[in-house]
Amino acid sequence: MSRFEKPFTPDQDIVAHPYRGEAEHQLAADVVALCQVGASIIFGVRGLDGAPIAGLGLACRIVDNRQVRLLVLRKPNDDALMALTRDSRIAATFTRISDHRSIQLKGLDAVIGAVQPEDLRAATRQARAFRDMIIDLELGDAFAAAYCSYEPAELVAIQYTPDQAFTQTPGPGAGTRVAMDDARDDRSDA
């Protein structure tokens, strides 16, 4: 029996995190949880010619609720990593495959660095969780194991500070900018 939930909708993020142009300093707890659950991670950067280059992330660690550390394999992401050394803009989309909830976090200050022990622990935990979700999709143990396998020595970290967030969950409203933090404007309009 599948553990999958009812599909998430963009409206759920739009209502939960309405963008009001406020200064945002920290990521909302549910966004942090989504990024670190063992999500499907796709990131994009700009090539030298301005064309987009997509990369595949293995895991993510949020530092101090402010910084995103994407953990990626060096070899399959060589082109994206090379482009990132010339242009530090990045967009990463995190999708929880159990309900399709997707959030995109954009930033302007991405840097590539070595992985830390905390990163390796996060990668192990998240790759295992993602593997289990693939198995729940009945795609087979062998496929799940192969898709989620990695050599720790091949990992690098991309760290950046998000400055924009968008709901990317499929459906009406996908692409809508949302607030990144839990701050609410409780003032009455009366």
What is the model's pLDDT at position 91? Answer: 98
Domain 10-173: give its CATH superfamily.
Electron Transport, Fmn-binding Protein; Chain A (2.30.110.10)
Residue type, 127: A
Paired tokens of 144: 């799940």
pLDDT tens-digit profile of 101-151? 999 999 999 999 999 999 999 999 999 999 999 998 888 999 999 999 999
Q: Taking the domains of the chain in order of start, what are their residue ranges?
A: 10-173
Buried b (16+ CB within 10 A) or exposed e, 17-37: bebeeeebeebbeebbebbbb
98 compared with 74, residue with greater pLDDT: 74
d(CA 80, CA 44): 7
Buried b (16+ CB within 10 A) or exposed e, 125-154: ebbeebbebbeeeeeeeeebeeebebeeee
Mean pLDDT of 7-16: 73
pLDDT tens-digit profile of 23-76? 566 898 999 999 999 999 999 999 989 999 999 999 999 999 999 999 999 999
Predicted structure pTM score = 0.86
Mean pLDDT of 14-19: 71
6 compared with 109, residue with greater pLDDT: 109
